Structure 1
Amino acid sequence: MPQMAPMNWLSLFIFFYTLIIFMIIINFFFYLPTTAKLIKQSMKNFPSWKW
């Protein structure tokens, strides 16, 4: 079935994309203090940012 090849590529791409996003979220929650420090440093570096 050659017409199923794009769907398989799309599903594989979505799978890897969700896996990468999941790993990023896990790393964000694992390194939460360091990310908070980086956010504070970036806020100091860019005082024009307003949340």
Structure 2
Amino acid sequence: MPQMAPMWWSTLFLFFIMCLFLMMIKSYFMIEYTPKTMKNMKKEMKSTNWKW
């Protein structure tokens, strides 16, 4: 008879996988937010006068 993992190991593993998928989905739909920030950063870099 094969040895089986305890129930809480299985639930923790499933919880981890579910959180991982939710983070991936969230980051996929946040793509809309990133180009705006990159444009703002480029404008700020052009407008600053560096004095060393």
TM-score (norm 1): 0.53
Q: Which runs of 5+ in 1 are unaligned?
A: 41-51
Which structure has the larger Rg over C-alpha atoms? 2
TM-score (normalizing by structure 2): 0.52
Q: Which runs of 5+ in 2 are unaligned?
A: 39-52
Q: After the TM superposition, which segments of 4 or more aligned residues of structure 1 sit over 2 Å from their partners?
A: none
**Higher relative contact order, chain-length normalized (CA < 8 Å, sep 6+):** 1
Structure with more helix by fraction: 1
User: Size of the alignment, in residue pairs?
Assistant: 38
